[in-house]
């Protein structure tokens, strides 16, 4: 039995190999997703992630600092992403009425349209490259396991 066949059987793999297979599977699948998004919308991964986060947020807006934190960017690095999206008329910055330190990044009408199309494309690709490959039950188990890892390691 090969190392990868053992991986499918779930036995006999050392921790480093197990983790390597997780990372390799994620990276190759994620590259395929990002390539399709770039081809369809000319968005880099950070821009696409920002639009997806905004489209899932109440009122399709979020404080810029929260967006930067969730996407693991510095505020300066995230400002550049927001600038590129604003230049394409996909987002606008709106100051908070109650706290002048807070600036919201909000989808424009064009941003809502593109983000909805983006979400549909991403859902289609995720179905084809992840859910259809693993099956719905295993895909759900992987997602739940990753959520558990996120929670367990968020403060480390």
Model confidence pLDDT, tens digit, residues 17-43:
999 999 999 999 999 999 999 999 999
User: What is the SS3 assignment for 89?
Assistant: coil
Any domain includes 144: no
Distance CA 77, CA 72 (A): 10
Any domain includes 30: yes
CATH for 53: 1.10.10.10
Distance CA 53, CA 51 (A): 5
Among 46, 53, 146, CA closest to 105: 53
Any domain includes 82: yes
pLDDT at site 6: 54
Overall pTM > 0.85: no
User: For residue 46, what are the domain limits?
Assistant: 15-132
Distance CA 123, CA 81 (A): 23
Any domain includes 64: yes
The 10s digit of each residue's pLDDT in 92-119 is 999 988 888 899 999 999 999 999 999 9
How many alpha carbons fall within 13 Å on the CB side of residue 45? 10
pLDDT at site 9: 60
Any domain includes 46: yes
pLDDT at site 74: 72
Among 119, 101, 103, CA closest to 50: 119
Any domain includes 154: no
How many folded domains does the chain comprise?
Answer: 1
Q: Write down the H helix ranges in the chain.
A: 3-9, 15-41, 45-55, 64-70, 75-87, 109-126, 132-134, 136-153
């Amino acid at each position: 039995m090969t190392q990868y066949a053992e991986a499918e059987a779930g036995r006999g793999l050392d921790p480093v190999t197990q983790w390597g297979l997780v990372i390799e599977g994620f990276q190759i699948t994620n590259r395929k997703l990002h390539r399709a998004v770039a081809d369809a919308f000319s968005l880099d991964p950070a821009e696409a992630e920002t639009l997806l986060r905004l489209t899932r947020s109440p009122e399709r807006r979020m404080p810029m600092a929260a967006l930067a934190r969730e996407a693991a960017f510095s505020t300066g690095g995230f400002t550049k992403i927001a600038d590129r999206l604003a230049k394409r008329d996909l987002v606008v910055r709106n100051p908070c009425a109650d706290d002048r330190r807070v600036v919201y990044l909000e989808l424009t009408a064009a941003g809502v349209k593109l983000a909805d199309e983006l979400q549909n494309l991403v859902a289609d690709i995720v179905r084809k490259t992840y859910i259809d490959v693993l099956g719905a039950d295993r895909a759900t188990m992987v997602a739940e396991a990753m959520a558990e890892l996120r929670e367990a390691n968020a403060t480390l």
